[in-house]
Amino acid sequence: MKIVREPRVYLVGRQHTDADGLERFLTDHGLSWTTDTEVGAETLCETAGRVCYMSFGKGRKTNREYLRHILESAHGSVLEHATWNFIITGVSRSFTHELVRHRAGFGYSQLSQRYVDESTADFVEPDAIAADPELHAIWEESIRQSHAAYCRLVEGLARHYAAEPDPTQRRKLARQAARSVLPNATETKIFVTANARALRHFVESRGHEFADIEIRRVAIALLRILQREAPGLFGDYTIVALPDGTEVARTEYRKV
Ligand SMILES: Cc1cc2nc3c(=O)[nH]c(=O)nc-3n(C[C@H](O)[C@H](O)[C@H](O)COP(=O)(O)OP(=O)(O)OC[C@H]3O[C@@H](n4cnc5c(N)ncnc54)[C@H](O)[C@@H]3O)c2cc1C
């Protein structure tokens, strides 16, 4: 049994523009336009915004200026055209339960406790418990007991379902019932796809001091990646350290 205290966020996918397709659209409409960003997400959001007014070649010159105006004017639907894909690991089931409440503009694929054997599961310990030896001992004992019960239940349920001829189905039946004793602290993995508008909403609500520390940590980790990926879409946020050592995200362009 391994204790995990730090989430990991892997950026595994981003968008690219199809330059030929964009050029065909411009030519078909007698337009000539280029932008000064090489970031696919930023180009696509600018293109989408310019389609609204067919303003190619007019008005604001740089992509950064253009996207800042989108944020200022809260033209948020334009930001839905930029998406990224992430794998998040080293997080608890309580974290993912909060994460999947974010419905609009998010897609999820999470490790299945019905199919995957949790007898080798890791567990995520909150910092506040880890910092205190007495609390840590209570937590660890509770985790060990739950985990041992899970393993015993899987064995017993395998006997209970012995008449099931398909071994995969037999294991699934046993694990899906036994998982009921696994704690919220059980480590999980989740594949997340989200657009820039949804990610901004997530960063604002979960990168806030009122949010749970684990989800806040993930929100700040995502924000750091996104600020490197697309500064035009996320550069308005500042990350502020609080006196307790945790971090929050702030912006003047909330709820775009
Ligand atoms: C500090 C904090 C404490 C929380 N505590 C609790 C708690 O105690 N109990 C609890 O159950 N949840 C709690 N939550 C979760 C919260 O209620 C939301 O479910 C979660 O933050 C997702 O937010 P959302 O619905 O705005 O996001 P999304 O589902 O991603 O929606 C984004 C936006 O789209 C719009 N939208 C989406 N769906 C609809 C719809 N059906 N109708 C109209 N507009 C829609 C809304 O403008 C919404 O803000 C908490 C969240 C935070 C940040």
Tens of pLDDT along the chain (256 residues) come to 899 999 999 999 999 999 999 999 999 999 999 999 999 999 999 999 999 999 998 776 899 999 999 999 999 999 999 999 999 999 999 999 999 999 999 999 999 999 999 999 999 999 999 999 999 999 999 999 999 999 999 999 999 999 999 999 999 999 999 999 999 999 999 999 999 999 999 999 999 999 999 999 999 999 999 999 999 999 999 999 999 999 999 999 999 9
Q: Is the CB–ligand 1 distance for residue 205 below 6 Å?
A: yes
The amino acid occupying position 84 is W
Q: How far does residue 201's CA lie from ligand 1's centre (Å)? A: 10
Provide the 3-class DSSP secondary structure of residue 104.
Answer: coil
Active site residue 206: yes
196 contacts 233 by C-beta, under 8 angstroms: yes
pLDDT of residue 57: 81
Q: Of 82, 40, 75, 67, which is closest to residue 194 (Cα–Cα)? A: 82
Any domain includes 55: yes
Give the position, in ligand 1's atom list, of the atom nearest the Cα of 206.
53
Q: Of 184, 251, 248, which is closest to residue 210 (Cα–Cα)? A: 248
Any domain includes 50: yes
Give the position, in ligand 1's atom list, of the atom nearest the Cα of 205.
53
Q: Of 242, 237, 241, which is closest to residue 202 (Cα–Cα)? A: 237
Any domain includes 122: no
Q: Is the CB–ligand 1 distance for residue 248 below 6 Å?
A: no
Any domain includes 167: yes
Q: Of 150, 200, 198, 195, which is closest to residue 177 (Cα–Cα)? A: 150
Domain count, the chain: 2
Any domain includes 192: no
Q: Is the CB–ligand 1 distance for residue 99 below 6 Å?
A: no
Token digits of residue 79: 């930001």
> What is the residue with the minimal CA distance to atom 4 of ligand 1?
211
pLDDT of residue 1: 82
Of the candidates 93, 197, 200, 206, the residue annotated as catalytic is: 206
**What pTM value is reported for the model?**
0.96
Provide the 3-class DSSP secondary structure of residue 177.
Answer: helix
Q: Which of 77, 101, 204 to mutate to test the pocket of ligand 1 (most atoms within 8 A of CB)?
A: 101
pLDDT of residue 240: 98
Any domain includes 87: no
pLDDT of residue 251: 98
Q: How far does residue 136's CA lie from ligand 1's centre (Å)? A: 32
Q: What's the domain range around 27? A: 15-80
Distance CA(232)–CA(157), nearest Å, equals 54
What is the rounded end-to-end Cα distance, in angstroms, of the chain?
Answer: 43
Any domain includes 214: no
Any domain includes 219: no
pLDDT of residue 58: 72
- State residue 237 phi and psi, 5-degree precision: -85, 140
Q: How far does residue 125's CA lie from ligand 1's centre (Å)? A: 25
